[in-house]
A and B are shown apart, each in its own frame.
Chain A
Amino acid sequence: MLITAMTSMAKTAGAVRILPNGKIPHPVGDPTRSPEEELAWRQDVLRKAIQALEAKIEEATIFS
């Protein structure tokens, strides 16, 4: 599945499992957090990604 800040692009490009996240220069990064908090936050992002991978879908879906 795809993790990106640019969801309109992702759908147009044909991605099917899309998780909007982060900012363009750091899709799975959050420099406003401390390193420990950022790691915990990143794990939560991956958990959402796992849900997207495990989801049964018929067409392009934007997860959250």
Chain B
Amino acid sequence: MITVVHYINQFFAGIGGEEKAGAPFEIRDGPVGPGRALQMILDDQALITHTLVCGDNQFHDNRDDVLDQLRQAIGDLKPDLLVAGPAFNAGRYGLACGAVCVLARDTFDVPAITGLFPESPGAEVFHDRVVIVPTGSSAAEMKTALDDIGRIGLKLAHGQPLGPAEEEGILPQGFRGNWVEAPMPAERAVAMLVSKLRSTPVPTEIPLPAAGETVPPAVEVPRLANATLALVTEGGLVPEGNPDGIESSSATRWACYPLADLEKDGGARFKSIHAGYDARWVNQDPNRLVPLDAARALVAAGEIGEVHDQFYVTVGTGTSVTNASRIGAEIAAQLINEGVHAAIVTST
């Protein structure tokens, strides 16, 4: 029998309204308040064994204590499913529901679900970590919300993977993945174009990014002849054996190596491990990626002050924007620490 534990606030537990929002945490047997309607919906598929109740102010004002009590309770009860709310558009209650769901899942691997109005604070904060059924803004919609929570909750309890948000009827959790879809993409593409030509476009399957924040240009270098320049590349040029284990694609790491080592034996000790471009020309002559020979010549001619004695390397192919931004920021921080004024990045 699938066991369910239900979290509700002081109002839905029948303790009182706003004046009782300081109600302490308690554990009650069986379903309480809306839990009774939920139990009827679950029928003989699942049993609500206990209801956890806490006042909304109590939760927020004594958060650590309440979370400890929740941890204790869920740890003892070990339900197959945790249901919180639904909280509709209630601010504090919704945030509490989200936090309870996160605790259940992250600490005990107990699947959890709640119901929130999409524009509520709880939905905004927790949509990428919690399975949230979108509800109306008030408890007038309780029946619909509980139907959805029951249906999807049982799936979670049985360990069934959820499909795309739109198919399941939950708020998108912010990640994309594969789904088996009919008709095949070619047919969908022709249909999509025909609709577009008829001025009744169907939505794109991959929405474009919102205009992102652009990084404003750094202040220009007054005179390179007086400055220190560093060489940076995403072309994956590393010493034989790739000692720092930079990944050939989807990199999470970067490293720096002495230019002096690159200069030895005409660069023969370095090879590209990048999986996204044909590296034969760079392996023949690494200056085609890291322009060391030209940089040295310009230093000798007085056109560049100095070349920094290390060069910096990572791999750009398949690398996520998040990791690439972090790698860039980390390299920049180190360059600044080492008194470098400017950098040339070469990209394949």
Contacts and interface: CB of A to CB of B under 8 A. Distances in A.
Contacts of B297: 39, 43
Closest 4 A/B residue pairs (Cβ): A29-B288, A42-B294, A26-B288, A4-B347
Interface string B77-112: 000000000000000000000000000000000000
Given A42-B294, A47-B298, A60-B214, A25 B277 contact: yes
Given A57-B217, A57-B220, A25 B294 contact: no
A24 B272 CA distance: 14
B281 to A, nearest CB: 5
B214 A42 contact: no
Interface string A47-64: 101100111111111000
B146 interface: no
A28 B281 CA distance: 11
Nearest to B324: A13
B342 A53 contact: yes
Contacts of B285: 29, 35, 38
Contacts of B284: 31
Nearest to A23: B281
Interface string B314-348: 00000000000000000000000000001111111
B128 interface: no
Contacts of A49: 344
Interface residues of B, number: 40
A46 B282 CA distance: 17
Given A25-B278, A53-B221, A42 B344 contact: no
Given A14-B215, A25-B282, A27-B348, A53 B224 contact: yes
A51 B293 CA distance: 19
Contacts of A46: 291, 294-295, 298, 304, 344
B347 A2 contact: yes
Interface string B114-139: 00000000000000000000000000
Given A1-B345, A27-B347, A39 B298 contact: no
B304 A50 contact: yes
A26 to B, nearest CB: 4
A13 B90 CA distance: 40
A22 to B, nearest CB: 8
A34 to B, nearest CB: 12
Interface in B234-275: 235
Contact of B282 (A26, A53, A57, A59): A26
Contacts of A57: 217, 220
B291 to A, nearest CB: 4
15 contacts: A3-B346, A4-B347, A24-B348, A26-B289, A26-B348, A27-B235, A28-B287, A31-B284, A42-B294, A47-B298, A50-B304, A53-B220, A57-B220, A58-B217, A60-B214
